[in-house]
Amino acid sequence: MSATTSRPARLNDPTISIVLSYLWLLSLVPLLTEKTNENVRWHARHGFAMMVAEVVFWVAFAIFTEMLAVGTLGIGLIVAATGPLIGIVFLVIHGIAIYKGVNGQRLILPVITELADRF
């Protein structure tokens, strides 16, 4: 057996908790388990608020594009084709939030940050 053994990363490591905070539903893990580190709790609340905002956006986007597709005989399909691009933008925002969080900074998103600060 080797004299140097690597220790597995633990959930109480702030870096792991901050990364989990911005992985959509996994934001619940640090939100429910972290009680002492206020920085991790802020990122968990922020990540959860981002997830809720994205779900609301995607539901509204789906309803809008469906109504537009039915009402205009297909123009909504062109609008719906922008969905993957919007998804990539959301993914990039999550990546920036993770990068900034791991480096001790915070990504401030106007409405979402205000919503996250309320709970």
Task: Give residue-wise pLDDT tens across range 28-64.
Answer: 888 888 888 888 888 888 899 999 999 999 999 999 8
User: Which of 40, 49, 52 shows the shortest CA–CA distance to 101?
Assistant: 40
Mean pLDDT of 11-16: 72
Structure tokens at 85: 């691009």
The reported pLDDT for the residue numbered 36 is 84
Instruction: Look at the pTM and tell me if it is higher than 0.85.
Output: no
